[in-house]
Amino acid sequence: MDSDMAVPQLDQFVLTVRNFVNSGENRELNEYLSKQTETLQKYVSNLDSVLEALDVHENSVTVLTVLGIKATAQKPPDIPGVQYHTAIATQINDFVSTISEEELRVLADSLATVMKSMLTNLGEIEKPMSAIPIIRRAICKLQEKPYQLTQLHCLLCQACLMSNNLKPALSLLDQDIYVLGTDESGVAFDPKYFLNYYYLGGVIYAAMKNYSKAITFFEIALTTLLPLLSQVMVESYKKFVLVSIIHLGAVPSLPKLSPALIERVLKPVCQAYLDIIPAYQSGDYEELQRTITKYHDVYIRDNNKGLVKQVIKALHRKNIHKLTNTFLNMSISDLAQRINLPNIAEAEEYLLTMIESGEIYGKINRKEGTIMFNDPPKKYEDPSVLKKILDEVINKISFSSTVRMMDEAILINPSFVKKTTSEDDGLSLGQSSSKSYQT
């Protein structure tokens, strides 16, 4: 269909929308727009004429609705995908740039839905990175304060992961959150945005090997007061287990995840991760390797193969640390054999890394091929140790306030249970299921 051809149905659509706006009938307008999806999809090639006919300030709801239709409708066959989806992204960017902060905040939920479709489309044409500045611009306009979580924070994290360009998300992730959506009374913030943000933020920190932060983010997603355990929380638990083993050598207990709850709810869907805990704790490389081999396909399906490899490395470091308590010095070849490393070079690499990070204290004699272990400094005399303790205290205080804030938000949002059981979790997490698990 020629996009310049007049379409009576669209002319009538524009006229009706203008009449609703001029008469101030906002509820009627929203009801009308909800019934026009099929018509707008049918004439998707002609929707630019609708956008040109509407003043974006007077008709922001309608313009965003039309942009959403363009982003989700089937692409016209005569337009290349790259051209079509790039053009829509430009139109969404223009919309965000043009309307005021106040107008955009009213449309935050709808904007998140439209931008999610935009990101999906840009991903399909291998241009997800172009979504990052658009989403960042929208976040800046939605935020009244830098410590405010918006509906788009999780989408920016998703765009960065899809682009393999994680740094743009750090300016948001490193900022503690104290306000959800808006601090205006009576305005509910859908917890799915909160859960997705902390899950995806944890994924980003884990990818950057900032395991302490990753654990905190997964822990927040897991300890939020919820009557249901969503798929996001299940995925968070899987990564929480792996990252905790890598960074702490153990999996901390979480007050809201009792042993009975783990046995009844998580065990059926997280058995591969529950089994890796005792395999690691045994200190036996071969036992850990057997467990990993058994669940190899599960780890790949869950996109956790990289973290599982880090668990193996963590076991090697753990076993090296044990040797420092037994030997004053030893040959590196003997060390490699004892901890199941393939050669001296790899053993030496582990030793150097651990010495540089302060995990062990010692000196390598390359000429003789030996390592001499030294006693660590007294526990609290090292300034770096004190700083680490202080950072941990601050981190826990921030963690507690974040979880408490989310708990309070959920308690005043009674519709959440219905939403989490009937809606998609909001972002693809590597599995198509949006099933919720009763706790």
Do 43 and 184 sit in the same domain of this protein?
yes
What number of residues does the chain have?
A: 439
* 46 & 162 share domain: yes
Residue 422 has what pLDDT? 44
The answer as to whether 331 is a domain residue is yes
Q: Residues 309, 339: one domain?
A: no
Q: Are residues 155 and 24 in the same domain?
A: yes
pLDDT at 398: 60
Residues 141 and 17 placed together within one structural domain of the fold? yes
Buried-state track 246-257, b at ≥16 Cβ within 10 A, e below 16 = bbeeebeeeeeb
Distance CA 351, CA 36 (A): 66
Say whether both 181 and 46 belong to one domain. Answer: yes
Q: Indicate which CATH number applies to the domain containing 128.
A: 1.25.40
In a domain, residue 414? The reply is no
What pLDDT, on the 0 to 100 scale, is given for residue 201?
97
Sign of CA dihedral 295, 298, 302, 305: positive
Q: What is the pLDDT of residue 317?
A: 95
Q: Are residues 49 and 165 in the same domain?
A: yes
Both 61 and 210 in one domain: the answer is no
Task: Tell me, yes or no, whether 181 and 200 share the same domain.
Answer: no
Amino acid letter, 165: N
Judge whether 115 lies within some domain: yes
CB of 189 closer than 8 Å to CB of 409: yes
Last residue of a domain, one of 188, 210, 231: 188
Domain membership flag for residue 91: yes
67, 203: one domain = no
Question: Domain count of the chain?
Answer: 3
pLDDT under 50 in the chain at which residues? 1-3, 412, 414-439
CA dihedral sign of residues 309, 311, 315, 316: positive
- pLDDT of 430: 34
Choose one of 277, 292, 315: the last residue of a domain. Answer: 315
Amino acid at 322: K
* Chain center to CA of 231: 13
- pLDDT for 181 equals 78
Question: Do the domain assignments include residue 306?
Answer: yes
Q: Which of 197, 208, 282, 285 is nearest to 247 (CA)?
A: 208
> What pLDDT is attached to residue 261?
73
Q: The CATH number of the domain where 343 resides is what?
A: 1.10.10
Residues 294 and 372 both lie in one domain: no
Give the domain range for residue 351.
Answer: 327-392
Q: Are residues 333 and 301 in the same domain?
A: no
- Domain final residue pick, 188, 212, 228: 188
Per the domain annotation, does 262 fall within a domain? yes
The model's pTM is: 0.84
Residue 151 pLDDT = 94
